[in-house]
Amino acid sequence: MKKIALFLLLVLLLSGCQAPQAAQVAATTLPVYEFTSRLCQGAGIAVARLVTEPVSCLHDYSLGVAQLRTLERAELVVISGAGLEDFLPLEAAEEVLDASRGIELLPGPDGEPDPHIWLSPACARQMSQNICDGLCARYPAQKSVFRDNLASLLSDLTALEDYGREALAPLAQKGILPFHDGFSYFARDFGLNVLASIEEESGSEAPAALLIQLSGIVEAENLPAIFVEVNGSDAAAGIISRETGVPIFSLDMAMAGDSYFDALYRDIDTIREAYT
């Protein structure tokens, strides 16, 4: 009996070695997943992404069973932070790495901190630095790998920032009207001015008074375009576009899809094209 038990244990151990490696690190959203994956390149650490659906942003999001299991099994869970993941059962995680640490947060429309920090390349650099620090503390043997990867990641984020500064310089302090309250940090980095914070609830209709107010802004500021978010609601924007005759363009919150950098470069190009 003992021998059989020992044999079974051996089989279990051996098959465990051959099974695909479970993720050691899990990251919640595309930006923190992409930063973490790049930092872990060549370090032999598996990184999983929790949110993979085509969401516009994380408001009203809830985890499925498989995602919850990934969260529970990970040694380290990287979050974007600043309240974005308030919906997550983070107490189930072994260790949480908050990428927003030390970032000066802007107030959101309801007075709560605005969590959309990743849309600022400057904040994204701080997030990457924070993630690198957390990885170094958790896996000290791979410190030099993380730090080499960090240097390349930071330089890519600086190149993104330089590209946006140059592309959007002719629009200095121009007003933009995005139909999500997510572009404050982006606008601050690139010298734009968000004219109104609109937090459109999906599935609910925008009140008539708000539509009139927004149409008034479009006309008073002589805006050439308004912006909805990819995967977001465009009901109110559609009404305002018909009312004022201005076209609608889509901006990407970089929550879905598979490249943070592609999304941000596209957003910069979209705004420039919409305004020229």
For residue 174, count other CB atoms closer than 10 A to its CB: 17
Task: Considering the complex, state which of residue 59 and residue 272 has its C-beta at the smaller distance from Zn ion.
Answer: 59
Query: How many angstroms separate the CA atoms of 11 and 262, rounded?
Result: 45
Residues contacting 184, CB < 8 A, separation 6+: 106, 108, 114, 116, 194, 197
Cα–Cα distances in angstroms (integers) from residue 215 to residues 199, 200, 210, 245, in the given order: 16, 15, 9, 10
Q: How far is the CB of 165 from Zn ion (least distance, A)?
A: 24
Task: Considering the complex, state which of residue 121 and residue 182 has its C-beta at the smaller distance from Zn ion.
Answer: 182
The 3-class SS string of 197-253 reads CCCCCCCCCCCHHHHHHHHHHHHHCCCCCEEEECCCCCHHHHHHHHHHCCCEEEECC
Q: How far is the CB of 174 from Zn ion (least distance, A)?
A: 22
Task: Considering the complex, state which of residue 57 and residue 63 has its C-beta at the smaller distance from Zn ion.
Answer: 57
Q: How far is the CB of 133 from Zn ion (least distance, A)?
A: 26
Rg (CA), the chain: 22
DSSP string, 141-187: GGHHHHHHHHHHHHHHHHHHHHHHHHHHGGGTT-EE-BSSTT-HHHH
Residue with the closest Cβ to Zn ion?
57
Q: Token pair of 222, please?
A: 């002589």
Task: Considering the complex, state which of residue 132 and residue 198 has its C-beta at the smaller distance from Zn ion.
Answer: 198
Residues contacting 31, CB < 8 A, separation 6+: 80, 118, 124, 127, 254, 260
**From candidates 26, 57, 168, 251, binder to Zn ion by CB under 5 A:** 57
- DSSP state at residue 52: -
263 binds Zn ion (CB under 5 A): no
**From candidates 182, 215, 233, 246, binder to Zn ion by CB under 5 A:** 182
Q: How far is the CB of 114 from Zn ion (least distance, A)?
A: 9
Task: Considering the complex, state which of residue 57 and residue 127 has its C-beta at the smaller distance from Zn ion.
Answer: 57
Q: How far is the CB of 69 from Zn ion (least distance, A)?
A: 26
32 binds Zn ion (CB under 5 A): no
Task: Considering the complex, state which of residue 178 and residue 182 has its C-beta at the smaller distance from Zn ion.
Answer: 182
Q: Segment contacting Zn ion (CB under 5 A): 141-149, 177-185, 227-235, 238-246?
A: 177-185
Residues contacting 60, CB < 8 A, separation 6+: 87, 202
The answer to whether residues 135 and 95 touch, using CB atoms and an 8 Å cutoff, is no
Q: Segment contacting Zn ion (CB under 5 A): 55-63, 65-73, 90-98, 187-195?
A: 55-63
Q: How far is the CB of 203 from Zn ion (least distance, A)?
A: 16
Task: Considering the complex, state which of residue 57 and residue 93 has its C-beta at the smaller distance from Zn ion.
Answer: 57
178 binds Zn ion (CB under 5 A): no
Q: How far is the CB of 180 from Zn ion (least distance, A)?
A: 6
121 binds Zn ion (CB under 5 A): no
Chain residues binding Zn ion by CB under 5 A are 57, 182
